[in-house]
Structure 1
């Protein structure tokens, strides 16, 4: 086995497709296929089987993929430890970040941190908070920025909060909502549950969903053009032309959505992680737009 073989197995398991795997690794398909055959020959097993829908892994292949994940983590830890021995803030900082934070907060944060620590590089994985929670739980990233209430028994730091609002182009009364077209968007299950629970507490009929979109940014554009209303966190909107009505729970309190920084205590042994965590703790995120 060569070092690159672990990357090949990891990428093939992710894509389940020879062509996409070869493209992601900047290899030709014949070279990738040849290397897979060499690995199978070396161990005397069949790892993958090709089907009409892509690649399927045999039990032996599944075992090799699991080993590949462990080997890649060990390799990354060796690199991190060696860089840490120099007592400098350097190396690659691996971040898992929600879509909103990636677009609206992270660029400014990384720019300011880079000015203080120019030798640091970044690997950023953007996704919904549920996926980021899994990444930080598995220690695939050093730090996770997560919106919503997710269980976490390790270190975390509160960053900022916003409230859920009815957002529309024109003024709208709450008792009119069941009869007005609503625009829904894909989001994590924590936010969706908060919205659904509030609706169930206040209305006996389902919402009149007139449109469904993939991204919340697309939802915002539809609202700006007067095509309906949506229920979403207040920080997604800064336009003065839009109307926002804060919704409240049964106790009459705003429904708050929190944003956190999650990390593992042991990762603070790395200079780059410790420096970044301490840097983030000093920031006022309400002022970062």
Structure 2
């Protein structure tokens, strides 16, 4: 059985106070307080700084919270594996995806999953490649889908499809209207709208800079692909984005691909797992994912 003390503790921290945690857990507030006190007694240390309005982790609490999240994740996986002995694809499935895949492809995959396996209840987390990989390592996600060349000895990383990335600008941008070949020096002078460190798209952009031997001084860093697209559409600068993210804007004439040496840039999308054990729900999700790309429905 899942450790109720750890579950109550994590819920209190996540909800920010005892009353909201009690409501979430369908418990009384005094019962929640008793669980926390018992946990603190068992560790011989206070875990929370309390006030009338909020609770806050202290140093000992941070240690317990971090490991409790991992332990609860493992409990959930263990329960899923036991449930799979019935051979039914059902139950919760926590899926993480990097922004490009998560925003522009995963919704279609989830729709197919729900159609074929309605008893699977997916929970989606979108983050950059580094964030998703770390959540898989911490047992807080069952599976991650990431982009680029991420490596970690704790993870199983399997490429399942190739992605193409292009330099794009607004259709009214001078580079879009230029008839002659684009010069490398022209690119270096431009304002580049780029993603944050840890993003697969940022990794690809830096690789392109190295290949072209350019070091643009005018850059803006945004944490959202959608925000980058809208900024570039407004004519502010240029960027490197996946074909999956720009299909609609290209077809509508809002963005234009700039022909640049060494592009399109090719990279992989990969499935990331923490363990070789797979619940039935995870197994059918990965199979469905690979089938969709084998049919080339998103290329």
Instruction: State the TM-score, normalizing by the size of structure 2.
Output: 0.76
1:32-80, Cα deviation, whole Å (9 max, x unpaired): 66653454356553223369x9734244x45543553354134313421
Structure 1, unaligned runs of 5 or more: none
Match of 2:179 in 1: none
Q: Shift of residue 224 of structure 1?
A: 1.7
Q: Shift of residue 128 of structure 1?
A: 0.8
Match of 1:161 in 2: 163
| In 2, Cα distance between equivalents of 1:71 and 1:106 | 28
Q: How does 1:109-258 map to 2 (within 5 A)?
A: 109-151=109-151, 154=156, 156-169=158-171, 170-172=173-175, 173-174=182-183, 175-186=185-196, 188-202=198-212, 206-209=216-219, 211-238=220-247, 239-240=249-250, 241=253, 242-249=255-262, 254-258=264-268
Q: 1:99 to 1:23 in 2, by over 3 A?
A: farther
Q: 1:279 aligns with which of 279, 284, 288?
A: 288
| In 1, Cα distance between equivalents of 2:212 and 2:91 | 51
Match of 1:88 in 2: 88
| Higher mean displacement: 186-195 or 222-231 | 186-195
Is 1:164–1:257's contact at 8 Å kept on the other side of the alignment?
no
3-state secondary structure, aligned to 1:287: coil
| Higher mean displacement: 228-237 or 99-108 | 228-237
Q: 1:244 to 1:171 in 2, by over 3 A?
A: farther
Q: How many residues are treated as equivalent by the alignment?
A: 278
RMSD, aligned α-carbons = 3.5
1:94-143, Cα deviation, whole Å (9 max, x unpaired): 21111222221112112112222121111222111111112223333222
Instruction: State the TM-score, normalizing by the size of structure 1.
Output: 0.78
| In 2, Cα distance between equivalents of 1:198 and 1:146 | 19
Structure 2, unaligned runs of 5 or more: 176-181
3-state secondary structure, aligned to 1:125: strand
Q: 1:87 to 1:232 in 2, by over 3 A?
A: closer
3-state secondary structure, aligned to 1:162: strand
3-state secondary structure, aligned to 1:261: strand
| Higher mean displacement: 131-140 or 148-157 | 148-157
